Homo-oligomer: A and B are copies of this chain.
Amino acid sequence: MTMPSPQASGNSYTFDGTASARDRRPVGIALLGYGTVGSEVLRLLKSNEETLEHRIEGPIELKGVAVSDASKPRTGVDPELVTEDAMGLILRDDVDVVVEVIGGIEYPRKLVLAALEAGKSVVTANKALVAAHADELARAADEHGVDLYYEAAVAAAIPVVGMLRRSLAGDQIQRVSGIVNGTTNFILDAMDSTGAEYSETLAEATELGYAEADPTADVEGHDAASKAAILASMAFHSRVKFADVSCEGITQITAEDIEAAKEAGYTIKLLAICEKIVDASGQPAVSARVHPALVSREHPLASVSGSYNAVFVEAEAAGNLMFYGNGAGGAPTASAVLGDVVGAARNKYLGGRAPKDLTYAQLPLAQFGDVPTRYHIDLRVHDRVGVLADLAATCASRGISLKAVRQEEDYEVNGHRAARLILVTHTAREQDLADFVANLVESDDVLEVSSVIRLAD
């Protein structure tokens, strides 16, 4: 694909006097990877060619597409542009912007670093790479005066990166809570609608293509944890890595949990929660975690259905904001990639720099045990005098206060007359709540603890 020169398309481009003395040759693009996302990126580059050049205020030209096996037949790409030599393509003098949509970590890390070190701006959609190595990549971008863009790495087409880095640049973020994994939202939403168990819903999701053959990264929350690391880093200007995120998936959620949540006016969502807290020593710290949470049916996140994603932001001046859309898929991801390509190419023409990966705040990471949370506990106790009083005393002795207690009679557990108790706590230290639950499990009064789920607020 060759883009027309400005003259050929009849447009006139104005160039800002402050830009470097770069000549007006097209900004050269290298595309690394030609899978689901890469092929969509190329399709959009071609079909939106004219509009892209208007928005960039100058021409762009695709210089090559790097793939692992050039001999494989491919549609939609000129075979002369295809190469197996990714590094050679990156280092070409006429390549200015490198688009990385390969996936994985080590190989793209090497390529992205080489690109930045060679003075090329990089656009990546690779959440695992950014969540693991953003510090190294950001430093390289900084040292070599180029841009590192990764809008597509979090929630695909939902522009959370731009929103946190630019739109809210004058504000202070307090909390970000996101539904950032489509597979798990599809499963939880289906369980909520049908009352089915987790395993059968997962099977259905796999059949429909919403879950991969090996769904571990999604259902265990690892994918969401990568995004939580990136969101927390941006929101609080501190470095949070994938390994720093506490992570709990949805595999333990039962139909009974969903039913109990419904009765109480909640729905269960897998949330990535990033917030600024005050730690045990009274210092501010960042908490980044992924776990299932009870979301009130009145909350905007509750209505995010199917495989949609949404990110809810609480900011000091802006108040509550929510961004909703497709969090995955070739075309939505490619849309975000192309938005970044426009930004990177524009900066090559007009000068200027993308907002940086700032970590000036350097907030320490909170231990999950120190984070304030709230529990919704569903348990069966012996139906005898004094049980509730005992429980209340245990709570009080542990400094845990209850917001709501609901008791239902006439259950039977293993031949014992039982009462069902639902306890909703006020906010307390996560570790204190976890210890309280461990204590409940051991208690002679308690027949079973059937469900423990954190509340979102």
Residues of A within 8 A of B (CB): 11, 14, 16-20, 40, 44, 48, 51-52, 54-55, 57, 142, 145, 151, 156-159, 162-163, 166-172, 237, 300, 303, 315-326, 329, 331-332, 334-343, 346-347, 350-353, 355-356, 358, 360-361
A319 and B331 form a contact (CB under 8 A): yes
B300 and A317 form a contact (CB under 8 A): no
* Closest Cβ–Cβ distance, residue A372 to chain B (whole Å): 24
Please indicate which of the listed interface residues A18, A162, A334 has the most CB atoms of chain B within 10 Å of its own CB.
A18
CB-CB under 8 A for A51 and B237, given A300-B303, A317-B332, A324-B321: yes
CB-CB under 8 A for A166 and B339, given A320-B325, A322-B323, A325-B320: yes
A11 to B356, CA, bound (A): 15
* Closest Cβ–Cβ distance, residue A348 to chain B (whole Å): 10
A341 and B157 form a contact (CB under 8 A): no
CB-CB under 8 A for A318 and B332, given A169-B338, A339-B170, A342-B169: yes
A326 to B315, CA, bound (A): 11
A48 and B163 form a contact (CB under 8 A): no
Q: Using CB atoms, name the residue of chain B closest to A163.
A: B159
B338 and A171 form a contact (CB under 8 A): yes
Q: Using CB atoms, name the residue of chain B closest to A302.
A: B303
Contact of A318 among B166, B331, B347 (CB under 8 A): B331
A353 to B157, CA, bound (A): 24
Chain B contacts for A169, CB-based, 8 A: 52, 55, 338-339, 342-343
A342 to B338, CA, bound (A): 24
A352 and B347 form a contact (CB under 8 A): yes
Q: Using CB atoms, name the residue of chain B closest to A331.
A: B317
B325 and A324 form a contact (CB under 8 A): no
B157 and A319 form a contact (CB under 8 A): yes
A169 to B322, CA, bound (A): 21
CB-CB under 8 A for A48 and B171, given A163-B162, A343-B166, A351-B19: yes
A167 and B159 form a contact (CB under 8 A): yes
CB-CB under 8 A for A18 and B17, given A322-B323, A338-B170: no
* Closest Cβ–Cβ distance, residue A256 to chain B (whole Å): 27
Taking A159-B159, A162-B166 as given, write out 10 further A-B residue pairs in contact, using a Cβ cutoff of 8 Å, ordered by the A residue number: A16-B351, A17-B145, A51-B360, A170-B342, A171-B339, A317-B334, A320-B325, A321-B326, A352-B352, A352-B353
A162 and B157 form a contact (CB under 8 A): no
A303 to B352, CA, bound (A): 40
Lowest 3 A-B CB distances belong to which pairs? Answer: A352-B352, A170-B338, A159-B167
Chain B contacts for A171, CB-based, 8 A: 44, 48, 157, 335, 338-339
Please indicate which of the listed interface residues A40, A151, A158, A237 has the most CB atoms of chain B within 10 Å of its own CB.
A158
A170 to B54, CA, bound (A): 11
CB-CB under 8 A for A355 and B17, given A157-B317, A318-B157: no
Q: Using CB atoms, name the residue of chain B closest to A55.
A: B169
A40 to B318, CA, bound (A): 11
Q: Using CB atoms, name the residue of chain B closest to A353.
A: B350
B319 and A322 form a contact (CB under 8 A): no
**Sample (13) of A-B pairs whose CB atoms are under 8 Å apart:** A11-B360, A16-B352, A157-B319, A163-B163, A166-B342, A169-B338, A170-B338, A170-B339, A303-B303, A317-B332, A322-B324, A346-B355, A347-B352
